[in-house]
């Protein structure tokens, strides 16, 4: 139930085109009601038939954002005490009934089904609250596909996908892809297996092992590139720098 403070005014506007976004509705508030849409008062809009109320969506959205902000604060400073309260708030959010089962109700139902994934941060604070990192990883592949189209054979597709995956994995680990390819082609074996580096990075993130001394193959190389073994000639602009951990900017968690 939506609790309205006594000092909050309730404005009701009927016969409004609900296809208008936030900017359009804000302009109506200023021009027709002579009020400030950011004043903290509640503005309710309905269509001509008065059977659709946009405030229901805004109510659920505000509850979702409040929970997301608290989960983000928990991830920054993990503490076992608020875990039960955060989980209870999530259950209360997704279990509420809605008069719009095909829109709001469907979204809440999907969140309820994926509760374990959405609240995984409570047990694993190192897990991001969003999928921006995954989307950025595939962006390069999508751009290449838009420019050059598809491959001519199944072998070409496997080759493209394999090298794209290796390049992105090296970038995540801070390894020069060019140096990695030369190391494997020459059979030198100076750079460790990427699977071993992934396990090491995961252990460091979880705090299982302390940061060890930087190996010789991770020393700074030419052209400002990192993780380049000695003896490899890396053309300027070819090496790949380490990518920072993605920062939250998405509305979904």
DSSP for 212-225, please give it: PPPPGGGS--GGG-
pLDDT of residue 30: 83
Cα–Cα distance, 81 to 161 (Å, whole number): 44
Closest C-alpha among 58, 50, 59 to residue 2: 59
Q: What is the mean pLDDT of the chain?
A: 75
Q: Calculate mean pLDDT across residues 123-144.
A: 83
pLDDT of residue 54: 61
Supply the pTM of this predicted model.
0.50
Cα–Cα distance, 230 to 65 (Å, whole number): 49
Query: How many distinct helices (H) and strands (E) make up the chain?
Result: 9, 2
* Residue 85, phi then psi, degrees to nearest 5: -65, -40
**Using 50, 70 and 90 to split pLDDT, how confident is the model at 216?**
very low
Name which of 130-139, 193-202, 240-249 the model is least confident about: 240-249
Domain segments of the chain as ranges:
8-53, 132-224
pLDDT in tens, 64-115: 889 999 999 999 998 888 999 999 999 998 888 776 676 778 888 899 999 9
Sign of CA dihedral 199, 200, 203, 205: negative
Q: Calculate mean pLDDT across residues 109-128.
A: 90
Tokens of 246: 């993605």
Assign residue 207 a region: left if phi > 0, alpha if psi is -120 to 50, beta otherwise? left
């Amino acid at each position: 139930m939506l609790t309205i403070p006594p000092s909050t005014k309730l404005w009701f506007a009927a016969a409004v085109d609900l296809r208008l976004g936030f900017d359009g509705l804000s302009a109506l508030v200023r021009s027709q009601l002579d009020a400030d849409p950011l004043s903290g008062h509640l503005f309710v809009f309905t269509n001509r038939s008065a059977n659709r109320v946009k405030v229901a969506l805004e109510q659920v959205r505000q509850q979702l954002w409040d929970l997301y902000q608290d989960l983000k604060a928990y991830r920054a400073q993990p503490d076992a005490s608020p875990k039960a309260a955060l989980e209870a708030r999530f259950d209360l959010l997704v279990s509420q009934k809605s008069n719009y089962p095909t829109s709001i109700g469907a979204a809440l139902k999907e969140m309820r089904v994926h509760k374990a994934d959405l609240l995984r941060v409570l047990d694993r604070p190192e897990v991001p609250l969003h999928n921006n990192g995954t989307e950025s990883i595939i962006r390069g592949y999508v751009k290449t596909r838009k420019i050059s189209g598809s491959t001519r054979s199944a072998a070409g597709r496997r080759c493209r996908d394999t090298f794209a995956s290796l390049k992105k994995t090296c970038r995540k680990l801070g390894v020069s892809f060019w140096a990695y390819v030369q190391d494997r082609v020459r059979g030198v074996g100076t750079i460790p297996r990427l699977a071993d580096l992934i396990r090491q990075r995961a252990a460091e993130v979880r705090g299982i092992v302390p940061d060890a001394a930087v190996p010789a193959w991770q020393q700074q190389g030419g052209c400002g590139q990192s993780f380049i073994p000695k003896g490899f000639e890396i053309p300027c602009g070819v090496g790949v720098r380490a990518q920072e951990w993605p920062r939250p900017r998405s509305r979904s968690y």
